[in-house]
Amino acid sequence: MASRSLVVVSFLAISCSLAAAGIEPGPLQDFCVADSTSSACLDPKLVKPDDFFSRGFQVPGNTSNPSGSSITAASVAQIPGLNTLGLTLIRFDFARGGLVTPHIHPRATEILTVLEGSLLVGFVSSFPDNRLFSKVLEQGDVFVFPIGLAHFLSNVGNGTAAAIASLNSQNPGFIAIPSNIFGSNPPIADDVLAKAYNVDTSIVKKLREQFQG
């Protein structure tokens, strides 16, 4: 009886530790290919190799935009076989001076590898420290952005740059801080933002114009 109690206590302790660490339970089947016509898994008999495949990640994205960067995703939307597996892959491309604006992934940690060029990257820890962890990365360097923390990527080299990142969620989320705040629908009140940023409401209006369609 004592040994059985010890096993039960140990099991509960392990379960609580996993829950506290935010570890999701593993899938209960080999795969659950997303069915575009419903929220259920595709019938395994209908699953094909192409459901686990995507092409074109070697092709640089179009950086002819104001930010000078592009994001190419390999997520469950492109690879149905990723459904329930908790992974997303992203390719970043940068023109000279290109930027991926400060943003947050509320549901994923990101690990980044530089393919070419020089990238200034960084993330900011939470309040009250608000500490910036930043570094210039070169080809082959790896950097981690912890889950839920604001981070950015900027091309500081003399040419183009590219990187690839993996995130441990099939739906990591992407909250671009400037557009999230100044491009919300409906808008956040001018006086709220003016007070939050300690600026005149005219500045708030000007910023909002940049992010509202």
Read off the pTM: 0.84
Report whether pLDDT(82) > 80. yes
Backbone torsions φ then ψ of 21, nearest 5 degrees: -80, -5
Q: What is the pLDDT of residue 39?
A: 84
Which residues have CB under 8 Å from 175's CB, separation 6+? 103, 104, 105, 106
Of 123, 118, 171, the C-alpha closest to 148 is: 123
Q: What is the pLDDT of residues 8-63, one digit of tens each?
A: 444 444 444 444 444 556 677 899 999 988 888 999 999 999 999 999 899 999 99
Q: What is the pLDDT of residue 28?
A: 75
Q: What is the pLDDT of residue 68?
A: 98
Report the alpha-carbon angle 140-142-143, nearest 5: 150
Q: What is the pLDDT of residues 148-196, one digit of tens each?
A: 999 999 999 999 999 999 999 999 999 999 999 999 999 999 999 999 9
CB 158 within 8 A of CB 94: no
Q: How far is CA 109 from CA 80, 117, 145, in A?
A: 21, 23, 6
Q: What is the pLDDT of residue 53?
A: 96
Give the integer Cα–Cα distance in Å for 38 and 168: 24
